[in-house]
Amino acid sequence: MCPREASQLALFLRPAIADERVLAAIASIPRERFVPRSQRRRAYANVALPIAGGQTISQPLVVARMLEVLALKPTDRVLDVGTGSGYHAALLSLLTEHVWTIERHAELAAEAQDTITELGIDNVTFRVGDGWEGWPEEAPFDAINVAAATGEEPPRVLEGELADGGRMVAPVGSREQHLMLAVRNGNRVGRRQLEAVQFVPLIHGPGE
């Protein structure tokens, strides 16, 4: 089955995703608005698709898993690193109180902001900058979503911006990547390795 609309995509993901709030969010965000016109036909297929700047909008199943493992609460304040198209940020915005999202690519950030505003979503704040540096003015966060691969080391600055009890999901690894779930308990951060994934790299240094 190739899903043709958001509600069908949610149905398609249902066997793999237990969190009903995540499925409801997927069913209500039009992914077609976040992909280039040339990709609209495939907007609800369970695949990553190319967006501007040589980047990709992540595969829906992986996005849903990342949302699920963050165990989000409606009162959570969330940091999203790697805005890209803004699709992941839009989903986070439905599940939490406020989302702060960082993208190094100015053009992508502007487009994502336009799309999200057009959808009437008003609880996302955008910044063009280096996600490796986090967002110290707004820290700590209850949850952090990292949508680009960090290499072998878990991103320590971002872990430092987790509130007590806060959760972070990030693709970690270089040749082989896995989702890593980090949970802060007081001064300790526990880390768990989850499934294998494939993400574009979280680039060091100034943006474009």
Question: Can you give the binding site for ligand SAH, defined by CB under 6 A?
Answer: 53, 55-58, 81-82, 84-85, 87-88, 102-105, 108, 130-132, 147-148, 200, 202-203
Which candidate, 199, 186, 164, 184, places its Cα nearest to that of 82? 199
Q: Which of 38, 58, 93, 174 is catalytic?
A: 58
CA 70/CA 74 separation, integer angstroms? 12
Closest contact distance (angstroms) between CB of 203 and ligand SAH is: 4
Q: Which is nearer to ligand SAH, 12 or 100 (CB)?
A: 100
Q: Which residue number, 101 or 187, has a Cβ lying nearer to ligand SAH?
A: 101
Backbone angles phi, psi at 125, to 5 degrees: -110, 135
Q: How far is the CB of 52 from ligand SAH (least distance, A)?
A: 9
Which of 92, 162 has the CB closer to ligand SAH? 92
The least distance separating ligand SAH from the CB of residue 8, rounded to whole angstroms, comes to: 19
Let me know if 28 is a catalytic residue.
Answer: no
Question: Is the Cβ of residue 45 or residue 148 nearer to ligand SAH in the bound state?
Answer: 148
Q: Which is nearer to ligand SAH, 3 or 55 (CB)?
A: 55
Whole-number Å distance between alpha carbons of 53 and 16:
31
Q: Minimum distance from CB of 21 to ligand SAH (Å)? A: 18
SS3 per residue for the chain: CCCCCHHHHHHHHHHHCCCHHHHHHHHHCCHHHHCCHHHHHHCCCCCCEECHHHCEECCHHHHHHHHHHCCCCCCCEEEEECCCCCHHHHHHHHHCCEEEEEECCHHHHHHHHHHHHHCCCCCEEEEECCHHHCCCCCCCEEEEEECCECECCCCHHHHCCEEEEEEEEEEEECCCEEEEEEEEECCEEEEEEEEEECCCECCCCCCC
Q: How far is the CB of 56 from ligand SAH (least distance, A)?
A: 6
Query: Where in the sequence numbering do the catalytic residues fall?
Result: 58
